[in-house]
A = this chain, B = another copy of it.
């Protein structure tokens, strides 16, 4: 964690509420927060902060604004659907950056995100992760709910975490549903939500035959995952899907998995009788 101490921080904001949460918590940590909201993606509530709207491709405008804010430190957060190069309206100030941008749009998903960080670093900016400026966003170790995993479930959590670790060198292994020593579903490209929907469907179809609450979602950062731009996260939707799959709870890497909308997420977990548990990584 970096303490703000009145330093300027620019949040480059994509979609969702995360940029707003990061902004609020970073302010509490003493940062002088500004937000550059990406038009068409960022929540309009960024306007409650010092802000500017930039279109994808308006790099000249962004660079000028960062200079006006005297800001050399960035956090990039929020969803942006990867655009096609030809769909981006570049401004004059973006011209010198076009070759780099074309290159980074060609790679896989992970390499785009890594590329964005390298892009700004190459221009002299310091790029921090959301957890660097707002560590309160991450799960803490141990039970975050009144419910706790049983001994058997702790064994499933350990086994799931180990499975994720061995898959990690293959650039997958972010999440898995474990139950009674078995892997019910393993996440690859589909994402955590779709994997949880699959677990629910496997129960509904009788392929996963079990009565009552059973199973746990285990979610960790991949080894070497760039937590500055690609933070594993859970939130109210994760709770809803875990409840629909009749899981017992959710275990996430402490200090590395972001709990979005924490108050609401914890309240809904409690209401659904799910545990939320931080694994000491």
Contact = CB atoms under 8 A, between A and B. Distances in A.
A280 interface: no
A190 B208 CA distance: 9
A159 interface: yes
Given A188-B185, A189-B202, A198-B190, A170 B180 contact: no
Given A163-B167, A166-B167, A167-B166, A188 B180 contact: no
A174 to B, nearest CB: 11
Interface residues on A, range: 20 to 34
A183 B202 contact: no
Interface in A167-215: 167, 170-172, 176-177, 180-191, 198, 202, 207-209
Given A159-B170, A166-B166, A184 B180 contact: no
A48 to B, nearest CB: 33
A108 interface: yes
Contacts of A191: 207
A63 to B, nearest CB: 29
B167 A190 contact: no
A176 B171 CA distance: 14
Given A108-B180, A166-B167, A186 B172 contact: yes
Interface in A246-281: none
Nearest to A110: B182
Contact of A190 (B163, B170, B187, B207): B207
A212 to B, nearest CB: 16
Interface in A203-245: 207-209
Contacts of A177: 188
B184 A186 contact: no
Which of A108, A166, A177, A208 has the largest number of chain B CB atoms within 10 A? A166
Contacts of A202: 189-190
Contacts of A162: 170
A218 to B, nearest CB: 12
The 3 A-B pairs at the shortest CB distance, nearest first, are namely A186-B186, A166-B166, A172-B183
20 contacts: A82-B209, A108-B181, A159-B170, A162-B170, A163-B170, A163-B172, A166-B166, A166-B167, A166-B170, A170-B183, A171-B183, A172-B182, A176-B188, A184-B189, A185-B188, A189-B208, A190-B198, A190-B202, A191-B207, A198-B198
Given A108-B181, A166-B170, A172-B183, 16 more contacts: A108-B180, A108-B182, A163-B167, A163-B170, A166-B166, A167-B186, A171-B181, A172-B182, A172-B186, A183-B188, A185-B190, A186-B187, A189-B202, A189-B207, A190-B202, A190-B207
